[in-house]
Structure formats: structure tokens, C-alpha cells
Amino acid sequence: MKLDSKSEHLIVGIRVRMDGGRDNPSKIAVKIMNRNNFVLYSRGPFWYDFPLCDAEIISVQQSALQIAFCSEDPKHSPLRIYCIELFAKSNQQF
């Protein structure tokens, strides 16, 4: 994801509504930019907020936001992503 290069705003975080399965809590691996993977345990749909650090905000402005989600067992616990929202600040606020 990337904002238009002429935009006066910067992406500073994302919010994702996802579901790893209702029957069994499943592990969801998340990788944002070059951060180490971290694991969420999901049972039912929840909102997750992922703020970006200053270095990531600058990197996203120059390239694009890279985020990956992976279910531990996609065959039995599929990962569902319902909504992705971006948080932004103006260049002047940053």
C-alpha cells in the first residue's frame, strides 16, 4: 500500500479486522516491513492496530507498506481479512 507521491500525508499505522477461526484459536503470523514476525492468537473477528515506528514511516513514504499475514494451518483455520484501515498524519504533524 502506498499513498500518492503528491500526498501531504504519511501512513503512520494500520488497523486490520481479521479472523483466524471461531472453533479453535489459531496462530496468525504477522510481518510488517522488516520487523521480526510476531504471532497473534485469534478466536473470532477482532481489530488489531499496528503502529509504525519513525523509520518505517519514512521508508513507506519512499517505497510502499509491506505487510504479510499467515495462518498456522490454512487448510483447517483459514485466515479471513475483513477490513484494512490506514492511519495517516500530515507531513507537518510528523
pLDDT in tens, 6-29: 678 888 999 988 887 666 667 788
**For residues 52 and 59, what is the distance between their CA atoms, to the nearest angstrom?**
10
Q: Per-residue pLDDT averaged across 58-82, rounded?
A: 80
- Residue 56 lies inside a defined structural domain of this protein: yes
Which carries the bigger pLDDT value, residue 49 or residue 91?
Answer: 49
47 found inside a domain: yes
> Is 42 within the bounds of a domain?
yes
3-state DSSP assignment of residue 55: helix
Sheet holding 67-71: strands in order across? 38-42, 26-32, 67-71
Total domains present in the chain: 1
Q: Is the pTM of this model over 0.85?
A: no
Q: Is residue 76 part of a domain?
A: yes
- Residue 3, in any domain of the structure: no
Does residue 77 lie within any of the structural domains?
yes
In the numeric block, the cell 499467515 is attached to 70
Tell me, yes or no, whether 29 lies in a domain: yes
Q: pLDDT over 90 for what percent of the chain? A: 10
Say whether pLDDT at 90 is over 80: yes
